[in-house]
Structures are given as C-alpha cells and as structure tokens.
Amino acid sequence: SEVFFPRKGPMEWHPHSSSCDVCGTSFHGIKRKKRPLNPQLSKKPRIVAGSTRKVRPVRNVKQVSNKAVMKKIVNCNKIHLSTKILAVDYPVDFVKSVSCQACEHILADPVETTCKHVFCRACILKCIKAMGSYCPACRYPCFPTDLVSPVKSFLNILNNLILRCPVKDCPEEVVLGKYAHHFSSHKEAEEKEGYVYINKGGRPRQHLLSLTRRAQKHRLRELKLQVKAFAEKEEGGDVKSVCLTLFLLALRARNEHRQADELEAIMQGKGSGLHPAVCLAIRVNTFLSCSQY
C-alpha cells in the first residue's frame, strides 16, 4: 500500500518498531491468502504399475474439422481423381506431395502458392472465395494473383503417374497425361452403345426398308422430329430439301457419285419446286464436285 504525507502540519517521524504502521501495511492488505498445503499430498505420489493413466494420442480437432470443411467447399469427388487408382504403391510422402492440400485428390491443373503449397486450381480458388485470402494449409496470406504454375520437373513427374483405369472390365494402365484421352474413348463407346437397339427376345429386328409404312414412321419418328425442327429453324420449313441433301451427302460419302448426280438432276427438274437460284447453285456445286472426285 502507499503512504501519503499529510496536507496540513509537519510529518512526525517515530523510531522504527515492530508495530510500525508504514512497514506493517503491506501485510494487512486484501491480498489472496496462500492455500495451505495438504500434508498427505505434499510428497510426490508414488506411481503404481496398475494405476497409471494410458496416454492417448491427441488429435487436433480443429485441424480435422478444417479438412472436412475444405472438402465440403471444393466438392470435387466426381471431378478429380482419387489417389486410390494409383497403379504403383508409391510412398505415403510422395502421394501427399502429388495430392491437393484441400481435396486430397490427385492434382488437376496444379498451382503453387507463395508459401510453396500445391493445390488444384479450382479447389484453391473456391477456398479463397469461401474462407478468405489465405493459404488453406498454413493460413499464410494468399491471393488469386499469387498463384503460379509449378516447375516443369514436378509437372513431368505428375503427368507420368501410372493410373489404373476405373472403368469396369478395363485392365489397362495409363499415365496421368494420357488419362483424359483414354477415358474419353470409353465415353464415346458408351454413347455408341446407347444408340444400338437391344432386342430383348421376340422376333429379330427387321431392316427399315422391309417394314410397312406405318412401322417405318414409328421407328423414324424421333429422327423426323429432329429434321423438322432443323428445317423450321434453318431452311424455312423445307423438310424435303433437308432430307434430299442428307441423301446426297450419304451417296457422296459412299463414292456413289453417279446416283448423286442423277438425284441432283431430279432436284433441278420441274417437279422439285425449287427456286431457280437454288437450281443454279446445285449445277455449280455439281460441276465443282466433278473436279474433286
């Protein structure tokens, strides 16, 4: 505590004694009293082998939750490739180095931050937009303009990773650089199979020309609607000209030029109903096509 001199009158000094008011004030304050020691616990407790507490590995809950939040933000499970399709049993640290720090998938269009962490371009941009302008891995300030492409040696290693094709019944292994082309070939094959008619029992499927007119209309209904929509949009509703042009192109593609020339002559006839300018254009195209074939 503090001692103040009196405002009025001189200060009287007394000889020092055990009951001195100045020295004794520090012991009579409202300080917290020290807690008395428990005599039973004053000694260091003896460790018994059976009563020791097991040390559990403490997980950083905040770090785990951040990872989960980042995965929800990027939401790229259907876009980026999982590290599980790696054909070679690479070391864990190597797999981590070629994986995105946000989504933990194989890097796609990788970019490097100023703090030397590598992410997928789409993932880091989503994280910056949702969580702020800092690195999701170490919270170092990071802006979209700071992102750069990694060195070529790293990109070469990344593109030469060997992957197993995830498509069922495909045993091939391809490098990451050629994976997109390989997977697109599967997509094209699936699209072609989608157009193939699957005959689920019953009579064998008959050829289009052997069907009755009613059956032909039924089978070609979808194609007819597409041609009609195209003719109305591009050719003023002239469905006949569009169909004849398709037939001409099919004949030319099969090198049946004589029949194509005959068809063009028929189209130029009086019964075709074509405009004279269109007939002239057909003649010119026929003359030019003769020099091409």
The residue-averaged pLDDT of 88-111 equals 89
| CATH number assigned to the domain with residue range 62-164, chosen from the 4 options 3.40.630.30, 3.30.420.40, 3.30.40.10, 3.90.79.10 | 3.30.40.10
Least confident of 51-55, 62-66, 207-211: 51-55
> Domain locations in the chain?
62-164, 212-292
Q: Is the pLDDT of residue 240 over 70?
A: yes
Q: What is the pLDDT of residues 162-184, one digit of tens each?
A: 888 888 778 888 888 888 888 88
Backbone CA torsion sign across 177, 181, 182, 187: positive
pTM above 0.75, yes or no: no
